[in-house]
Homo-oligomer: A and B are copies of this chain.
């Protein structure tokens, strides 16, 4: 797969810098105007002045984006204030992005600067970094990407549009991690674990089924286009599968917002949210393993067993590697917060929590596995173990911090999406492909939800009703992940068509499905308020509740996991659960004593009541 257009992966880049990304190009155009300037002192002053101009323009673009976000926030408030649920804030952000895109494309007319001929250098490759010998002095340059040589011909305001376009890797390295971490960190709910088996089925098996169905339907569609002569470039089966993978990732954003506000059935909520959080991980790993699928004879795109196995190996390796790394980081943070008295200083505790979670991402990237996926599992582990070790202050702080980061990143991605519809200059809109994609999307989702629900219902004590299934079918919104995966590489014709189509699918699902969820829920009679209050009576029922809530999921791996978690992991990593010295065999008692903090060692050995209270607080923590 030719991926020359993918720019150098520049890890983590801070929001402002993104806006700068396209800006530098402009200054390039004034290059030849200064060609006559000679003498090193003057050259310095000139290049400095130009660098300052670049910086100034970058700041201006960044101001544009912050104003866009500010407007979105104010309108969101207005919508919430007036209790208007027709449009979610992400839908709003997209509309504002669209408006700004239209204005930039058609409203502003900037006279292009003097366009100069590019420098010609003797080199056979495009290195990521470059030393240039300019009049005897060495300057270092870094690669930003390949530039299409139709520059200046396509759009009237190509320069401005390129200025507001930035490196797609920014999404993966800056914007997605907080969103995905937040999703994982919000998963700490009792109902999530009660439905763990079903969630895993939908997220893993379901997403793979969906990708494959979409891939096959799209391959048929592409064959049709090819027969009709509508196809303007190569489109292989791997491309179709890739499209299937990126389109199968449903977005937790709107689910979280709408279902949280409406207080729908908790099981439905857990299923939908759990699935959409975890299938992001599956989609990202699946798409990268499809990219890794390269038949031995690089020219042919026929089926190759070895390459297929290699892809499967990549899929399993990256997924399990990310899982192991994310979980390990969570465990380390839990142990550190448990064994130190860091909780006396919430600022230090929050900083440590933030740094450890972030270094999970970095460490995964340094190990060449997927940071975003590692961060998801890290978030889940942090929520399940570390969270209960934190001081009340830090619990609040960490939640609020990641809530804020998530909100900002999300609003930014969605408004950028709107902007991209007009600022991206290589859109390929093909009616056949688009219709096919919409059809494939529905078929893929249906092939995920209905058969799996049928199979799961065979084993579940509380069945997933057909109403629930219809809502799950309907609530499959596509969002940030689909966008980020599709914009990552737009170098070939196939990828450009995929990107344009994905954009339309995101718009459609967010506006139509997102806006329609409330009426659909009312129509399906699912909307009701479930308020769970802990009263004194609950104290007497606690043990019963705990055992019942986990035995409800009849699958034995889940029960086994719960027992292991409750008897070993929780006592090891947190202050809850039975003391380790009781659960571990006698030979391990020195170790157990060492890992049981004096605090809960005392508590657990002296009274029965605190142990029970501990369980209540655990239940409360899971519930809230």
Interface on A for B, CB 8 Å cutoff? Answer: 2-4, 6-17, 20, 24-28, 31, 34-38, 40-41, 43-44, 46-48, 50-52, 54-60, 62-63, 66-67, 69-70, 73-74, 76-77, 80-81, 118-135, 137-149, 151, 173-174, 298, 336, 340-342, 344-345, 347-348, 350-352, 354-356, 358-359, 362-363, 365-366, 368, 371, 397, 400-401, 403-404, 407-408, 411
Contacts and interface: CB of A to CB of B under 8 A. Distances in A.
Contact of A363 (B13, B59, B149): B59
B31 A73 contact: no
Given A12-B14, A120-B133, A56 B145 contact: no
A127 B63 contact: no
Contact of A13 (B17, B128, B145): B17
A138 B130 contact: no
Nearest to A39: B124
A76 B145 CA distance: 43
A51 B9 contact: yes
A149 B3 CA distance: 34
A137 B121 CA distance: 11
Contact of A11 (B59, B142, B148): B59
- Binding site secondary structure of chain A: helix
Contact of A14 (B14, B336, B345): B14
Residue of A24, A336, A350 with most partner-chain B CB within 10 A: A24
A11 B3 contact: no
A125 B366 contact: no
8 A-B pairs closest in CB distance: A14-B14, A12-B16, A118-B131, A24-B129, A141-B141, A59-B365, A59-B366, A9-B55
A310 to B, nearest CB: 15
Contacts of A144: 129, 139-142
A8 B54 CA distance: 8
A3 B45 CA distance: 8
B12 A12 contact: no
Residue with the greatest number of chain B CB neighbours at <10 A, chosen from A16, A127, A400: A127
Given A55-B11, A125-B43, A74 B143 contact: no
Given A10-B55, A34-B124, A56-B368, 19 more contacts: A6-B48, A11-B17, A11-B20, A11-B58, A11-B62, A27-B129, A37-B125, A50-B127, A54-B129, A56-B365, A60-B366, A80-B348, A118-B130, A119-B132, A140-B146, A141-B142, A142-B142, A400-B400, A400-B401
B146 A137 contact: yes
Contact of A174 (B11, B14, B134, B143): B14
Contacts of A17: 10-14, 17
A125 B44 CA distance: 8
Given A43-B124, A366-B60, A74 B340 contact: yes
A242 B129 CA distance: 34
A127 B47 contact: yes
Contact of A126 (B3, B26, B132, B404): B132
Contacts of A143: 47, 51, 139-141
Contacts of A40: 4
Nearest to A393: B400
A352 B7 CA distance: 33
Q: Which of A27, A46, A298 has the most CB of B within 10 A?
A: A27
A69 B352 CA distance: 8
Contacts of A67: 359
Given A17-B12, A73-B348, A362-B66, A141 B130 contact: yes
Given A14-B14, A77-B348, A118-B138, A54 B401 contact: no
A137 B145 CA distance: 11
B137 A132 contact: no
A127 B31 contact: yes
Contacts of A397: 400, 404
Contact of A128 (B24, B59, B129): B24
A573 to B, nearest CB: 18
B121 A134 contact: yes
Contact of A43 (B37, B58, B62, B126): B126
B125 A46 contact: yes
Contacts of A366: 56-57, 59-60, 62-63
